Structure 1
Amino acid sequence: MEQTTFLVLMALALVGTGVVAGILAGLLGVGGGIVMVPVLYYVFGVFDVDQDVRIHMAVGTSLAAMIPTSIRSALAHRRKGAVDMELFRSWLPAILIGAIAGSVLAPHASSEVLRAVFAGFALLVAVNMIVGNERFKLGSELPRRIWQRISATLIGGISVMMGIGGGTFTVPYLSLFGYPIHRAVATAANIGVLIAIPGAIGFCLGGIGVDERPVWSLGYASLLGFALIVPATVIATPWGVALAHKLNPKWLRLAFALFLAITGLRMAWSLIS
């Protein structure tokens, strides 16, 4: 395949990735990263990106693409006054410690480790979406500050390793302690900025000089992917929001949970096959 044809086809696939991520984010209220990573992983596979760097490229590109979208989302929530700034400031050091640790370690982890992390936690998210009960609570208030900070550190580190924003784990965690859902989503959006920036920097620096990366890459982040996914996601998210008011969200969540479960199982299978 000629390089020009290769780039055109990859560009179309990356735009499609952004559209899918945006629509599902609008439909289900999930972060784009939990969609982008598995889709990018398979897109890079179609274009024969080496298995040893494929998941690194998917995670790094996802984190880079999340920077402008997470900042946009965070500012929008702040303008509405929905962010719990006291909680945000309390969690900020722990989130940063976890995110920086993840951004240092994850780019140098093996493909097997990153695939195992994504597969395992994707399956947990899928199970929670299928059988989770929104009325189930562990308590009526958040635990002691030390346990919050331990949780925040883990959220930051695991999120970077998966290439996702903080909402996937922050919102369910806060909801388990009776925290208002809208305030949880708004606060998680701001936490996502703290995860995306150091995570993207770590993957960009960690992948410099590594062989087998696709063309137009800065470390483990695809510049072509960043340039095409971000606008596609921004444009497509309102489409998902509009569809959400026309379709049954219960079945949509189930369909997405099954997508995550299949993705997780396929990644897990790739580790043993």
Structure 2
Amino acid sequence: MRITEKPPARVLIDREAVAGRMGFRKAVNAAFSVLFLSATLLALLVLGVLFYRIVSQGFGHLSPAFFENFASRMPEKAGVKAALVGSLWLMAVVAPVSLILGIGTAVYLEEYAKKNRLNDFIRMNISNLAGVPSVVFGLLGLTIFVRALALGNSILAAGFTMSLLILPVIIVAAQEAIRSVPRELREASYGMGATKWQTIIRVVLPGAVPGILTGSILALSRAIGETAPLIVIGVPVIIQFLPAGVLDTFTALPMQIYDWAKRPQAAFQEVASAGIIVLLALLLAMNSVAVLIRNKFQKRY
């Protein structure tokens, strides 16, 4: 018995309909390309105008005396000596505390903690804490560090408060970076006889350094420019001395800039712009060091 195969049915293609749909898709793509380009150019325009205004107003006040003088009620004698040194002291506390606690917490949650509802609840709340307003952390620092531990408005109290502020960001970034390390590398390390701790130190963390540093750069940049927590814990605006230790009272660049910017005299607006330039330079210097370290590890792993 001979079996005959049915010829395949002919598919009729409406060339005009296909061409119309392709034209519509191309038009939509072009419209979205123009929209996204316009948004990018608008953001760059605003940033350029802001940068030009700050530089044009404040560059004339950048002089050796501006870095050697303390704050003053006269704009021509005002300087950032105390604020700049105070910001450096603050970051000397914030950076090690937040990085050690943040990376340590991320390593525990990703490598040691069991997958259960309790740990999932902890991870979810850490992610939610990253969006809490900074003034809430200021109130927390005021309650715990300033009053309960009697640290006052010292560098240590402010540093711990700022560390709490940026800790969720560092933890979340470190968790994502640790997850991105291929599991094959861990298994190869175990196959060579390494322990879990040796694998974490020699394989996981070096491979996760670029991602960890990316999140840390953003977190530390937020910490150095925050003002609300410092205001809440009572950091003074004007001091005429340099701190000698972490238990001393201090002031910071954001506080000093805030004080200058709210004054009605036009000369203080220019001094505030000069302070913003110094703050941006400090921020770029910190970020540059972190980017260099990140690029070094990206080449190795």
TM range, normalised to the smaller chain? Answer: 0.3 to 0.5
The alignment's TM-score, normalised by the length of structure 2, stands at: 0.30
Higher relative contact order (CA 8 A, sep 6+): 1
Rg larger for: 2
